Amino acid sequence: MLNFAPPAVSLRFAPVWRRNLLVWRKLAIPSILGNLADPMIYMLGLGYGLGSFLPQVEGAPYISFLAAGTVCLSTMNSATFEAMYSAFSRMHVQRTWDAIMNAPIDLDDVVLAELIWAASKSVLSGLAILFVVWALGLSTSPVSLWALALVPLVGLTFGALGLAMTAVAWNYDFFMYYFTLVITPMIMLSGVFFPVEQLPPEFRAAAAVLPLSHAVALARPLLLGQIPAGILLHLGVLLAYAAAGFYAATILCRRRLLK
Amino acid sequence: MAVLAAHGLRKFYGAQEVVAGVSFGIAPGECFGLLGPNGAGKTTTLRLCLGLTDPDAGSIELMQRPVPGEARPARLRVGVVPQMDNLDPDFTVAENLLVYGRYFGLSDRAIRERTPRLLEFAGLAARAESRIQTLSGGMKRRLTLARALINDPDLIFMDEPTTGLDPQARHLIWERLKRLLGQGKTIVLTTHFMEEAERLCARLAIMDRGRFIAEGSPRELISRHIEPHVVEVHGDGVMEWADGEAGTVASRVEKSGETAFCYAADPAPLIASLARRPELRYLHRPADLEDVFLKLTGRELRD
């Protein structure tokens, strides 16, 4: 039985968000290093290593081209991990959500708190890469500052989609399917490592509906100092995925926990 | 004015009716016990009262507010000790209270003021900075109780508060619950320990298959439902004795495994009969709540 009422969101999410922040603060240093090291290694290794074989890609050195993809990829991965593995631990393994719902906080508030928390954590990952990109001079235009606004939206989008998966997961193994069947193909189709235009037309059509494509389509021109084309379309798609994911997560969590 | 009132509660899981028309009212300062075998519907009844699941029929008022409609504000005045431990494993003892108090909208200062008193109450004054993993089961239970008191609730729900605890830890919890009752708090307790119910609860209901099958004070339930004397008999030939002579000297005989439970208002003829059968061993004791419980819910296993 599903309760389709729209999420009843309120500021009561704040103490739940603060709970997660307090846990994170205890583990902050290894967490930041972990979040930064992996995407950095890919960006620098592929960017300089593979880049040395390549002429310019879309008018920029390959590593500058790759920078935007890495920012989006890192933000997406961080939000997805937090919304799936960590939120699942709190919901199902530690029963933290049950404890919270015995207090005057509703499930909808908890789901919202987890969404905003996943986005918050992913912003750290995205910004960390962004600062490295700026520090290395891979992006020098003031236009690239707009990426600061894009990263939180990307975090919300993938946090919401991850939470919807968490709502139907019965163990951690379930998340492997999401990574191998959804996230990994999406990375290959969304222009993270190479331009989408390289793909055959049928793959390009598939790429056009994937949220990561739209994130990259905004981030890449911004980091290369250009105003993106079709800003409203890209923002609209990301917002639509975020809203649909959050709505689905709320309904599915209600079905799971309020029975 | 009742702090909790339920009328005609029903809840289905699929075709199974787990709460099948339950009504009750709980007065301020009362300790009400909900007894029943596993799967009787006790926890579901508590969840309904807290607004964590919607009833299929019936109405609930918690702290004079309709539930589930106003369950959230009603829970501001309520504390909950859940059956399963859900303390925050990443935090210290004091941090657990801090984080939980914030859920009630309390300021950090107000929580820090309350914390020493609550830890004292829970016998954890020296453990404020301990990590949860280092606590024993009894300590965790007491911390969960302290956590449930962070908002100074009027009504406390406790779902099997002493399950899995050793006797020392259990007695300490009972002592603390009596202290809370002395302070005028209301407690709703589910348990399957009859001793716990007999010690703490002024009034109880025995629940089975989603229904209240008996209600009253422990003493009323015993006098209403069962003979005052019980003689438990075992040994060679007990079943032959139970099927024959026992029926003439006891008002009721129940056989379970290799033991015959004989119930009687006057135990003298029973004892006399057993004196002539030295091969049978017996235990003579007054009837208790467990006898009522087993009579009403049966002796077969409920898993």
Q: What dihedral angle (degrees, nearest 10) is formed by the CA atoms of B138, B140, B141, B145?
A: 140
Contact at CB, B100 and A99, closer than 8 angstroms: yes
Distance in angstroms (rounded) separating the CA atoms of residues B221 and B199: 14
Q: What is the mean pLDDT of chain B?
A: 94
- State CA A74 to chain mean position distance: 7
Interface residue A108 vs chain B (CB under 8 A): no
Torsion of CA A5, A6, A8, A9, to 10 degrees: 160
- ipTM of model over 0.95: no
pLDDT of residue A183: 97
Task: Please list, residue by residue across A200-225, b when 16 or more beta carbons sit within 10 angstroms of its beta carbon and e when fewer do.
Answer: eeeeeeebeebbbbbbbbbbbbbbbe
Question: What's the Cα-to-Cα distance from A19 to each of A149, B41, B141, rounded to whole Å?
Answer: 25, 32, 21
Numbers of helices and strands, H then E, in chain B: 12, 14
The DSSP bridge partners found for residue B282 are B233
Q: Cβ separation of A259 and B53 shorter than 8 Å?
A: yes
Q: What does B246-281 look like in DSSP terms, one character per residue?
A: HHHHSSEEEEETTEEEEEES--HHHHHHHHT-TTEE
How high is the pLDDT of residue A29?
82
- Assess contact for B114 and B101: CB atoms under 8 A: yes
Helical segments of B76-148, H only: 93-103, 108-121, 137-148
Specify the pLDDT at position B163: 87
Task: State the average pLDDT over residues A235-242.
Answer: 98
Which among A33, A65, A34, A35 is positioned nearest to A47, based on CA atoms?
A: A65
Tell me the shortest Cα–Cα distance from B127 to chain A, in angstroms: 19
Domain boundaries, chain B: 4-223, 227-286
Interchain CB distance below 8 Å, A102 and B88: no
pLDDT score at A14: 97
Nearest CA in chain B to A90: B88
The residue with tokens 């989408």 is A196
In chain A, residues with a C-beta closer than 8 Å to the C-beta of B73 are: 104
What pLDDT is recorded for position B303?
A: 64
The share of chain A scoring above pLDDT 70, in percent, equals: 100
In CATH, the number for domain B4-223 is 3.40.50.300
Cα separations in angstroms, A251 against A254, A256, B255? 5, 9, 51
Q: Please tell me the distance from the alpha carbon of residue B143 to that of residue B81, in angstroms, as a whole number.
A: 10
Interstrand relation of B186-191 and B16-26 (parallel, antiparallel or unpaired): unpaired
* A249 confidence band (pLDDT: 50, 70, 90): very high
Mean pLDDT of chain A: 94
Q: Is the pLDDT of residue A1 over 80?
A: no
Residue ranges of chain B with per-residue pLDDT less than 50: none
Contact assignment for B86 to A106 by CB distance below 8 Å: no
* Rounded Cα gap, residues B197 and B218, in angstroms: 8
CA count, 13 A, side-chain hemisphere, A20 = 26
Contacts with A18 from chain B: Cβ below 8 Å: 99, 102
Q: Could you read off the pLDDT of A117-146 as tens digits, one per residue?
A: 999 999 999 999 999 999 999 999 999 999
Judged by CB atoms closer than 8 Å, whether chains meet at A15 and B99 is answered as yes
CA angle, B256 then B167 then A99, to 5°: 100
A197 contacts A204 by C-beta, under 8 angstroms: yes
Residue whose entry in the numeric block shows the structure tokens 């690239």 = A144
pLDDT at B139: 95
d(CA A18, nearest CA chain B) in Å: 8
Query: Tokens standing for B26?
Result: 């709980």
- A157-205, pLDDT tens digit by residue? 999 999 999 999 999 999 999 999 999 999 999 999 999 998 999 999 9
Task: Work out the percent of chain A whose per-residue pLDDT is above 90.
Answer: 87
Structure confidence at residue A38 as a pLDDT band (50, 70, 90)? confident
Output the CA–CA distances (angstroms, integers) from residue B31 to A151, B138, B192, in the order listed: 54, 22, 15
Nearest CA in chain A to B75: A104
Q: Which of B96, B101, B73, B74 is nearest to B85 (CA)?
A: B96
Render pLDDT for A68-95 as a digit per residue (tens, 0 to 9).
Answer: 999 999 999 999 999 999 999 999 999 9
What does pTM read for this prediction?
Answer: 0.93
The phi-psi region of residue A127 (left if phi > 0; otherwise alpha if psi is between -120 and 50; otherwise beta) is alpha
